[in-house]
C-alpha cells in the first residue's frame, strides 16, 4: 500500500514551511504521520506536496513551565507528554488522556499538534484540550494569533487552523483540582467510540467549578454545558453525578456507524460522564 | 531522492521514490526481510522497528522522514550466535507458533523493558497492545517477556 506520488519538502523553519504551503496550493503538512499516512495509503488524501515537519522538531517539541500554564510545542509526542512529571502533576487530564491514545508505537510517533489540528471526531486529545480550557497558538505569514479551545474545534475534521497556517503551541492552564478521562475504546482501532473528560474543583462537600467535554459522539469534540450547569455549586453525590450526566448529549445528534448506533453511543456518553464525574470528585 | 539510514550500525544510502515507506526501504533496499508486513494499515505491529530508539510501526513512517536516523531491526538483536535475552525468552517460553508476528513483538518488547524493567502482567499486556498475534493467544508471550525481564535484571530464572 503506497501513497500516491507527491513532491517532498523538509523545511528548516516555520516561516519556510508557511512559504511552501502558500506557494503550493495542494500541499499538506506531516507531523507524526499517524493520521495522514494511513489516509494517504488508502488514497483518501493525495496531496501533490508533502511538507515534512521533521526538521522543526528542535523548535516545536518541548514542554515548558510558564508559571500559570504549561506551553507544549505542537510536535511534542504523546509519549513525551505522558512521561512528563510536570504535565502529570499540573495538567493531569492531558497526561491521562494521551496515555490512552492508540498503543505504545502510536504514542511514540503521534503528536499533540497533529491530533488536534486533525480533529478526528473519535480522537481522544480534543476532549482534554476542551476540558482544560487550553489555548492554541497559530502562525501564518501574517504573524501569530491565539485561539481558545472553545473556538478551535469547528466540526468534522475542521479547526481554526486555516490554509497556510501552522499550529505552533498548545497552552494548558495549570490545574490542581480533580480530573478524569473515561473512554470506551473501539475494540479494533482503539479510538474513542465515546470519551468524556471532566475537571472539577471541590468546595467543601460541593462542586466548585467544573468542565465536561465529550468526544467520539458528535462531528467534533464539544463541551457538555448541560452537565456542567447541573453540577456547578451542587452538593456532590453519586445520584447527582448520574442525573447531571444524563445531559451529556443534550442538543447533539449522536454519530452512527456499524459498531455503535446513535442510541448506544449516547448511552455510552452518559455512562462515561457519570464515571468521569465520580472519578474526578474522588481524586480532587 | 537520496536517503541515508543507518540500520543495525550499517549505513544504507539509496535513491528512492519519495513515497517509499520505511518498511519497504528495510526489506527491499536494505534486504533485511526480518521486519514483516502484516496489515499495512498501522494496526498489527509486525513491522515494528526502533527508530532512533523509539519503537514505531515502519509501515507508517516514510523512509524520507527517516533520512539520517538510526534504525534497529530484529536482525540487530542477536550478537552473533548469542540470542538477545528477549529472543531467548520467546524461545524458552514458546512465545510463538508461526512466528510471523514475532519480530514486531521482540522489538516492541525491547522498548517496553527499557522503559519498565520489571513490568506486571497488566503492564506487559498494555505495552504490547499495538502488536497482534493470531496464533498464541498472548499467554506465552507474556511469559516470554517476564523471562526476558528477569534475565535482563540479572535474576535467577525458575525452570518451568
Ligand atoms: C493504529 C492507530 C491507532 C490510533 N488510535 C488512536 C486513539 O485511540 N485515539 C486517538 O485520539 N488517536 C488515535 N490515533 C491517531 C493518532 O492520535 C495520530 O497520531 C494523531 O491523530 C495525529 O497526529 P500526527 O502527529 O500523527 O499527525 P499527522 O498525521 O502528521 O497530521 C494529521 C493532520 O494534521 C495536520 N497537521 C499536523 N500537525 C500540524 C500542525 N502543527 N499545524 C497544522 N496542521 C498540522 C496535517 O497536515 C494532517 O492533515 C491512532 C493512529 C493509529 C495509526
Ligand atoms: S504492517 Fe505495520 S502495523 Fe501491520
Ligand atoms: S505466532 Fe503466528 S501470528 Fe503470532
Q: Are residues A128 and A67 in the same domain?
A: yes
Question: Which CATH number does the domain housing residue B22 bear?
Answer: 3.10.20.30
Q: Are residues B48 and B94 in the same domain?
A: no
Residue B79 lies in a domain: no
- Dihedral angle over CA of B123, B126, B132, B133, nearest 10: 30
**Domain limit, last residue, from A21, A36, A56:** A56
Q: Do A105 and B56 touch (CB under 8 A)?
A: yes
Please tell me the distance from the alpha carbon of residue B5 to that of residue B3, in angstroms, as a whole number. 7
Which residue range(s) make up the domain with A35? 7-56
Question: Hey, is A94 helix, strand or coil?
Answer: helix
Q: Do A108 and B54 touch (CB under 8 A)?
A: yes
The ranges of chain B with pLDDT < 70 are 158-160
Section A142-148 average pLDDT: 97
What's the confidence (pLDDT) of residue B120?
98
- Dihedral angle over CA of A99, B34, A32, A159, nearest 10: -80
Q: What are the chain A neighbours of B48 within 8 Å (beta carbons)?
A: 105
Residue B80 lies in a domain: no
Please tell me the distance from the alpha carbon of residue B15 to that of residue B26, in angstroms, as a whole number. 13
Q: Are residues A87 and A108 in the same domain?
A: yes
Long-range Cβ contacts of B75-81 (<8 Å, 24+ apart): B75/B8, B75/B32, B75/B34, B76/B7, B76/B8, B76/B9, B77/B106, B77/B107, B77/B110
Section A167-186 average pLDDT: 98
**Domain limit, last residue, from A155, A173, A191:** A173
Q: Are residues B142 and B117 in the same domain?
A: yes
**Domain limit, last residue, from B55, B74, B93:** B74
Please tell me the distance from the alpha carbon of residue A280 to that of residue A181, in angstroms, as a whole number. 9
Q: Are A219 and A255 in contact (CB under 8 A)?
A: yes
Number of structural domains, chain B? 2
User: Alpha-carbon torsion B68, A108, B148, B116, what sign?
Assistant: positive
Q: Are residues B68 and B128 in the same domain?
A: no
Q: List strands edge to edge, sheet with A7-9.
A: A7-9, A49-52, A27-30
Please tell me the distance from the alpha carbon of residue B123 to that of residue B112, in angstroms, as a whole number. 9
What's the confidence (pLDDT) of residue A145?
98
Residue B157 lies in a domain: no
The string of pLDDT tens digits covering residues A47-90 is 999 999 999 999 999 999 999 999 999 999 999 999 999 999 99
Residue B158 lies in a domain: no
Choose among A30, A104, A188: nearest Cβ to B130.
Answer: A104
Please tell me the distance from the alpha carbon of residue A243 to that of residue A260, in angstroms, as a whole number. 23
Count interface pairs A-B at CB distance under 8 A: 78
Question: Which CATH number does the domain housing residue A50 bear?
Answer: 3.30.43.10
What's the confidence (pLDDT) of residue B157?
76
Q: Are residues B8 and B61 in the same domain?
A: yes
The string of pLDDT tens digits covering residues A108-125 is 999 999 999 999 999 999
Choose among A3, A38, A106: nearest Cβ to B41.
Answer: A38
Number of structural domains, chain A? 3
What's the confidence (pLDDT) of residue B79?
94
Q: Is B31 exposed, middle or buried (0-12, 13-18, 19+ CB in 10 A)?
A: exposed
Q: Does A208 touch chain B (CB under 8 A)?
A: no
Which residue range(s) make up the domain with B148? 85-152
Section A97-107 average pLDDT: 97
Long-range Cβ contacts of B125-129 (<8 Å, 24+ apart): B127/A104, B128/A104, B128/B45, B129/A103, B129/A104, B129/A190
Q: Is pLDDT at A1 greater than 90 in this prediction? A: no
Q: How far is B109 from chain A (nearest CA, A)?
A: 10
What's the confidence (pLDDT) of residue B160?
64
Q: Are residues A245 and A154 in the same domain?
A: no
Q: Are residues A70 and A160 in the same domain?
A: yes
**Domain limit, last residue, from A143, A173, A203:** A173
User: Alpha-carbon torsion B129, A105, A80, A220, what sign?
Assistant: negative
**Cα dist. A274→A99, A215, A277, A281 in Å?**
21, 15, 5, 11
Does the pTM exceed 0.95?
yes
Amino acid at each position: 500500500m503506497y501513497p500516491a506520488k507527491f513532491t517532498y519538502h523538509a523545511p528548516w523553519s516555520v516561516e519556510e514551511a508557511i512559504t511552501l504551503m502558500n506557494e503550493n496550493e495542494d500541499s499538506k503538512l506531516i507531523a507524526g504521520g499517524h493520521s495522514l499516512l494511513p489516509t494517504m495509503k488508502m488514497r483518501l488524501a493525495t496531496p501533490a506536496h508533502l511538507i515534512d515537519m521533521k526538521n522543526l522538531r528542535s523548535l516545536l517539541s518541548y514542554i515548558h513551565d510558564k508559571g500559570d500554564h504549561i506551553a507544549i510545542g505542537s510536535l511534542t509526542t504523546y509519549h513525551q507528554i505522558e512521561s512528563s512529571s510536570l504535565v502529570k502533576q499540573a495538567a493531569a487530564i492531558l497526561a491521562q488522556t494521551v496515555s490512552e491514545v492508540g498503543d505504545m508505537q502510536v504514542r511514540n510517533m503521534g503528536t499533540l499538534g497533529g491530533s488536534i489540528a486533525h480533529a478526528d471526531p473519535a480522537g481522544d486529545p480534543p476532549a482534554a484540550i476542551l476540558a482544560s480550557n487550553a489555548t492554541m497558538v497559530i502562525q501564518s505569514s501574517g504573524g501569530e494569533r491565539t485561539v481558545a479551545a472553545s473556538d478551535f474545534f469547528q466540526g468534522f475534521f475542521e479547526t481554526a487552523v486555516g490554509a497556510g497556517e501552522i499550529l505552533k503551541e498548545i497552552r494548558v492552564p495549570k490545574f490542581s483540582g480533580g480530573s478524569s478521562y473515561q473512554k470506551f475504546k473501539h475494540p479494533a482501532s482503539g479510538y474513542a467510540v465515546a470519551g468524556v473528560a471532566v475537571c472539577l474543583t471541590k468546595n467543601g462537600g460541593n462542586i466548585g467549578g467544573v468542565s465536561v467535554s465529550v468526544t467520539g459522539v458528535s462531528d467534533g469534540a464539544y463541551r457538555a454545558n448541560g452537565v456542567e450547569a447541573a453540577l456547578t455549586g451542587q452538593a456532590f453525590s453519586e445520584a447527582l453525578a448520574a442525573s447531571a450526566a444524563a445531559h451529556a448529549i443534550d442538543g447533539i445528534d449522536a454519530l452512527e456507524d456499524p459498531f455503535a448506533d446513535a442510541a448506544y453511543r449516547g448511552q455510552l456518553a452518559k455512562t462515561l460522564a457519570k464515571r468521569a464525574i465520580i472519578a474526578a470528585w474522588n481524586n480532587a | 531522492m537520496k536517503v541515508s539510514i543507518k540500520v543495525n550500525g550499517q549505513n544504507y544510502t539509496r535513491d528512492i521514490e519519495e513515497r517509499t515507506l520505511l518498511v519497504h526501504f528495510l526489506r527491499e533496499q536494505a534486504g533485511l526481510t526480518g521486519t514483516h508486513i502484516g496489515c499495512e494499515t498501522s494496526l498489527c505491529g509486525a513491522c515494528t522497528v526502533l527508530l532512533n530508539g523509539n519503537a514505531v510501526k515502519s509501515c507508517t513512517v516514510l523512509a524520507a522522514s527517516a533520512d539520517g536516523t538510526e534504525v534497529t531491526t530484529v536482525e540487530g538483536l542477536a550478537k552473533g550466535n548469542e540470542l538477545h535475552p528477549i529472543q531467548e525468552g520467546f524461545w524458552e517460553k514458546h512465545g510463538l507458533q508461526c512466528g510471523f508476528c514475532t519480530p514486531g513483538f521482540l522489538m516492541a518488547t525491547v522498548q517496553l523493558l527499557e522503559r519498565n524493567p520489571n513490568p506486571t502482567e497488566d503492564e506487559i499486556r498494555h505495552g504490547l497492545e499495538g502488536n497482534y498475534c493470531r496464533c498464541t493467544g498472548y499467554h506465552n508471550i507474556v511469559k516470554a517477556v517476564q523471562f526476558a525481564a528477569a534475565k535482563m535484571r540479572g535474576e535467577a530464572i525458575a525452570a518451568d
